[in-house]
Amino acid sequence: MNKGQHASLETRALMSASASNRSPESRARASAQMMGHATWTGKHHTIESRDKMSVAKMGHETSIATRERMSVSHKGIPVSAETRARLSLAVWRGGKKETGRRSHAKRRGLGYVYLNSPFPGSEGHHINRIYVIHVPKALNQGISHDVWTGRGMEKINALAIQWLTGDGFSC
């Protein structure tokens, strides 16, 4: 077939069948011929071109109808476990952030063991992930600490236990 000529439907079918039904020997020969040759990696835009494309896209908002079509087209596509792990790692920022009422409600249901009763002006201090001591709010907030990472826990735990036992500590 010469350049510029259009192939008939029959010719296209023959070309497609011959390309997809190659024998293992012919595939091996083609593979051996390509060994050592660099593969084509595509076009690489210059930094200036990328900057221009970035500026051209700024302020562009995809219409709601287009977003709905994109959403529908992605529904039902299975996501591999590897991809899910990568997405999870990309989103994870060092722990689950809980604020407000939800965190308090969750803590009530987790089965913490309280070593003393709450009192006015107290705040629960977690000496670990199970045990909680109610200490004065000023004491708990006076020392920076984090039960999940362990930062500052030795110092605050020593003071909380000292306050609980009453060994020469007053607040």
Tally of structural domains, the chain:
1
Residue 128 inside a domain? The answer is yes
Residue 150 inside a domain? The answer is yes
Residue 5 inside a domain? The answer is no
Residue 126 inside a domain? The answer is yes
Whether 18 contacts 26, CB under 8 Å: no
pLDDT of residue 32: 86
Residue 114 inside a domain? The answer is yes
Q: What 8-state DSSP symbol labels residue 40?
A: P
pLDDT of residue 19: 65
Query: What is the pTM for the complete model shown?
Result: 0.35
Residue closest to 125 by CA, chosen among 168, 167, 162, 166: 162
Query: What distance in Å separates the CA atoms of residue 152 and residue 157, rounded to the nearest whole number?
Result: 9
DSSP characters over 46-72: -HHHHHHHHHHHTT----HHHHHHHHH
Query: Which range of residues forms the domain containing residue 149?
Result: 101-165
Query: What distance in Å separates the CA atoms of residue 23 and residue 14, rounded to the nearest whole number?
Result: 15
pLDDT of the chain, 171 residues: tens digit per residue: 667 788 888 888 777 766 667 788 888 888 888 888 777 777 888 999 999 999 998 888 899 999 999 999 989 889 899 998 888 877 766 665 555 555 555 555 566 788 888 888 888 888 877 888 888 888 888 888 887 788 888 888 888 888 888 875 555
Q: What 8-state DSSP symbol labels residue 100?
A: H
pLDDT of residue 124: 85
